[in-house]
Amino acid sequence: MTVLTPEEIRQGLADNARAPYGAARNARAETLAAAAESSGDRGLFRQALDQLIDAYEWSAERTKMVVPFARLLQEYDRDPTAFPGYEVHGLFWRFKWVAGRIVESPEIPLAAVERWLTDMERRYRLAGYSERAVRQAEFHLADATGDEARMDRAAAAWTAAARDRMSDCHACEINTQGWYWARKGEDAKAIEVWEPVLSGGKSCMEEPHRVLAHSLLPLVRLGRLDEARSHHLRGYRMARGNDSLLRSVGKHIEFCALTGNESRGLEILAEHATHLGPLTDVESQMEFAGGVLVLLRRLVDLGHGDRPAVPYQGAPQTVHELYERLSADATSIAARFDARNGTPHVSERLAERIGRQPLVDVLPLGVRSAALPAATAPVGAGQPGTASPHTAATAALDFAALVEHARIARQQGRPSADALWARVGELADAGKELPDAAVAADLLEFRARTAARAGAEQARGLYAHAADAHRAAGEQARAAYALLGVAGTAAQAGGEAGEIRHLLAVAAEAARALDEADPARARRIAAAELTTLQIESYLRGRETPEEDGQPVDPALTAALEDFVTAHGTDVRPDVADVLAEAELVLARIALTIGDLDRAEPLLTSAAHHCLVAERPWEAAEPLSLRARVLAARDDREGAEAVARTALGHAAELTDPEEQAAVRLTLAEILLRRPGGADEAAAHALDAAHWLDQAGLTATGGARARLLLARAYAEAERTAEAAEVLQSALPDLLEHGEEEAVGARRMLGGLLRGLHDQRAAAEQYLLAAETAKGWDNPRPQASLAHSAAEALSAAGLREESRQAYGRALELWRRAGDNPVGEVRVLRSLAWLTVESGAGEEEYGRARALMEQALAVLEGAEEPELRYERAQTWQQLAALLEDSLNEDEAADEEASRAGETAVRAEAVALLDRAAAGYGALGEGALRERFQCAVRAAWTEHALGRPQDGISRMTALIADLGELEGAEAAELAGQAEQVRKQLG
């Protein structure tokens, strides 16, 4: 075996300290610690032990730190004077970690745990530390053993003791104190305690990650569902893939299981399936498995026990099989703790957790999750999900009352009518005897309508049977309706034109033949007339598809205009909704050709006529369209008011797509209003949920999620926006190149806001690749530019340089964006001199800056004048930076050359300041920065009085301006003047 030298060990420790936490880092740390011990260098051995303990702490092998810490403690007891002050502090700091890890190790006897705690208390007292950390360690021991009285005493003593250098960070203490209250059932108190971490005021390496996970179920129990959703989206993003946060991941899975998001829980489980086997940290294994078991039990209850789950150590498992395996693992671990502690506390707490029932039926999360397939086994009696799709009130009706209720709902045109007739059909199929032939005909008609909506072939035959049945039952008006259905389904099936026209004529004649006293006659005649107009337009389109190349059928438009005119005077309530339908069709035709002036009054009238017909739910669509028209005219207040009215009228709608459309309209309008983003997000979230219910997750649902992500981003809820958009991205990529590029660009911006620069660059580059074949190079140039900035921020200099070069090439090809070209040139200049630059590199960088100035030469537009001033300012900074480099490399550099460079920098700064000054107060701060830098450069040239004069003139100029910014900058300039003096 190769023996490492001390220098090689030190280099290995330095390299490993930069490696990601996890098993690989732990293994390397173990090897280096063994090598350090063999080297005989005690200081190096201590350093290696410190790193090994740290590696274990931030991984899934935390409990392994006890052995190296014991070795480190032996080293200290052998010779305390060998430990520098910072090593002593590190030793006592890590003592707290070990106190927690031994509690989490069931193989360590309780007596030994108590001895460790006693030793910790003795050592802390002798070292002069507060007992705060000791009592916190005792608190964890009492919690683990279920000693409530001791836990309460320890908690009181812990919080009463003074904070000192050994106290946990504020965020970690708040985490533990909050779940103490949650454990006692005080959810509101727990959230109150956690608030400083949840709001971002306190944080550390693992906070707010853990607190966000702890807060999920308390928030749901308190009914604060929006916050629970937000904490899940933010918190899971932080915990995902982190070995040391498996317990938090388990809590997110449990949250999904108890809020109707079982599919989302399965997706999270799949991302962490490799951690399902035995772990070194058995308590983390048990806690993670506990959250998974809640999900698996819920899936079994819903009838999904036989469906495939994730593998266990590479072996395929069904949900039920995985449940049994994990249950055995977790209960075995709990039994080991109970045997060590002498109480059944751990097993009881695990059993209580696994048995938890859902807290809400469903809490929409906004992220895209695949719907669960149909259950492969019946759900047990009394389990959630067993109810038929009808209301509890309907279930309580007797059959005769149900039929009457269904007939009234149909007559009134209520959206609930279909569900009522579906229930009638269920009971009839189950053997319930129909009251009479009329009900049998009604049921046939409902089944025909249902088949027609599904595009089923049997729809026409069902309508024909329904017409016959209605006639036999003496229901001539219903028969006329069914005959119109026969004609409509014939057209839907692509039937022969002559036959379809004959069927329409038969239906129209049946309507006209109704008794004059029949209250349905006028409605049947109007409906037949309108249907005939629309089907005739369809038939004309089939016969002459290329006629005039017109986007709309002028004959249909004219016919509809005549229909509206004929029925628009003294509108009868029973025909008003048919008239509204015609107006809505006309309005859509107007919108197709961009005639907003024609569309708006038609939409207004259609909505009014729906209300006249006492069918407010049908007014939702024309009102929603009118709101969009008003928004297009920039009447934001009017658009919002109309959209809210539409949403109010949509209350009875049962079609999920219709519900979604109304909410999306309002969400889009609100997103344009300052301060409207949070409410827009709520409506977009609802819309996404409705579209999922409609089976449109990949189409309309994806666009709703895109809108939701925009709303979250506008509300500065960046992590939630990124999580939602990433979940919808696979669907959006299928919506065409333009939408794919837009989604990736937006996601890249969100990831940059989350400081995930590498991932952001990846999205920009993928979007640029998609736009590669477009005729217009501007989108690709912009994306390459953004990718270069992200790569530079990630420290990937060479990759950034290449991306900047590509962006420059594209901006030049586009030829109409000098700002983009100039900014790329400046960025390339700074990349050229980032590290180890010499005279040659600074020369190339200067040349790039001068190229940028050449691009802007003679420009008069304010934006370009600003960029020119920016370039002068940055060139001045580059020149002074080159002097600093020269001084470091050659202290005997020519003083004359240095003076010339500084003088040139001052001249450039003066030009930049003048350029900013010409732009007014919008560039006041930039002008101030140039003046201050010029003053200090004068000082470096040995001319401090000139620098003071510059500040005096600047203060005078600022004094002539009004506003807080000018006053603030004047105060800062006065400070600089004093410093120069």
Any idea what DSSP says for residue 315? Answer: B
State residue 663's pLDDT score. 98
Residue 552 has pLDDT above 90, yes or no: no
Banded pLDDT at 889 (limits 50, 70, 90): very low
With a cut of 90, say whether residue 373 has pLDDT above it: no
Q: pLDDT band at 13, cuts 50/70/90?
A: very high
Residue 698 has pLDDT above 60, yes or no: yes
pLDDT of residue 390: 41
Contact 367, 720 (CB under 8 A): no
Q: What is the mean pLDDT of residues 7-15?
A: 95
Sign of dihedral through CA atoms 396, 398, 399, 404?
negative
pLDDT over 50 at 321, yes or no: yes
List all residues 6 or more positions away from 660 whose beta carbon is below 8 Å from its beta carbon. Answer: 686, 687, 688, 690, 691, 694, 696, 700, 704
Determine the Cα–Cα distance for residues 350 and 633; give it in Å rounded to an integer: 60
pLDDT of 2 > 80? The answer is: no
pLDDT at 880 over 50: yes
CB 67 within 8 A of CB 30: no
The pLDDT confidence band at residue 3, using thresholds 50, 70 and 90, is: confident
Share of the chain above pLDDT 70, in %: 96
Q: How confident is the model at residue 476 (pLDDT cuts 50, 70, 90)?
A: very high
Q: Where residue 897 falls among pLDDT bands split at 50, 70, 90?
A: confident
Token pair 């003294």 in the structure block, residue: 570
Contact of 744 with 770, CB cutoff 8 Å: yes
Question: In which band, very low, low, confident or very high, does the pLDDT at 381 lie, cut at 50, 70 and 90?
Answer: very low
pLDDT tens digit sequence for 654-673: 999 999 999 999 999 999 99
Identify the band that residue 266 occupies on the pLDDT scale cut at 50, 70 and 90: very high
771-788 per-position pLDDT tens digit: 999 999 999 999 999 999
Residue 569 vs residue 498, higher pLDDT: 498
- Determine how many CB atoms are found less than 10 A away from the CB of residue 717: 20
Q: Please tell me the predicted confidence (pLDDT) of residue 933.
A: 96
Please tell me the least confidently modeled range out of 357-371, 378-392, 583-597. 378-392
Q: Is the pLDDT of residue 886 over 80?
A: no
pLDDT one-digit tens code per residue, 823-832? 999 999 999 9
Quick check: 574 and 614 in contact, CB under 8 A? Answer: no
H helices within 355-458, ranges in order?
392-395, 399-411, 417-429, 437-453
Give pLDDT tens digits for 396-453: 468 999 999 999 999 999 999 999 999 999 999 999 999 899 999 999 999 999 999 9
Q: Is the pLDDT of residue 545 over 70?
A: no
Q: Tens of pLDDT along 323-355? A: 999 999 999 999 999 999 999 999 999 999 999
Q: What is the 3-state secondary structure (H, E, C) of 12-48?
A: HHHHHHCCCCCHHHHHHHHHHHHHHHHHCCHHHHHHH
Model confidence band, residue 382 (pLDDT cutoffs 50, 70, 90): very low
User: Quick check: 927 and 910 in contact, CB under 8 A?
Assistant: no
Question: In this structure, are residues 562 and 553 in contact, taking their beta carbons and an 8 Å threshold?
Answer: no
Token duo for residue 256 = 């999904």
Rg (C-alpha) for the chain, rounded Å, is 37
CA distances from 876 to 108, 222, 237, 331, 903 (A): 66, 59, 43, 69, 10
Distance CA 276, CA 410 (A): 54
Q: What is the mean pLDDT of residues 371-375?
A: 80
Check whether 789 has a pLDDT greater than 60. Answer: yes
pLDDT at 94: 93
Structure confidence by residue, pLDDT tens digits, 907-943? 999 999 999 999 999 999 999 999 999 999 999 999 9
For residue 455, give the H/E element and its range. none
Longest dimension (CA), the chain: 114
Q: What is the pLDDT at residue 441?
A: 96
Q: What is the pLDDT of residue 550?
A: 67
What is the reported pLDDT for 376?
Answer: 57
Provide the β-strand partners of residue 308.
318
Mean pLDDT of 505-513: 97
pLDDT at 836 over 90: no
The whole-number pLDDT of residue 386 equals 32
Token pair for residue 904? 């040139």
Distance (Å) of CA 827 to CA 564, 877, 901, 930: 64, 13, 22, 19
Asked if residue 217 has pLDDT above 60, the reply is yes
With a CB cutoff of 8 Å and minimum separation 6, the contacts of 655 are 415, 694
pLDDT tens-place string over residues 114-146: 999 999 999 999 999 999 999 999 999 999 999
pLDDT digit string (tens) for 602-624?
Answer: 999 999 999 999 999 999 999 99
DSSP 502-571: HHHHHHHHHHHTS-TT-TTHHHHHHHHHHHHHHHHHHHHHHHSTTGGG-SS-HHHHHHHHHHHHHHSSS-
Q: Can you say whether the dihedral through the CA atoms of 119, 123, 125, 126 is positive or negative?
A: positive
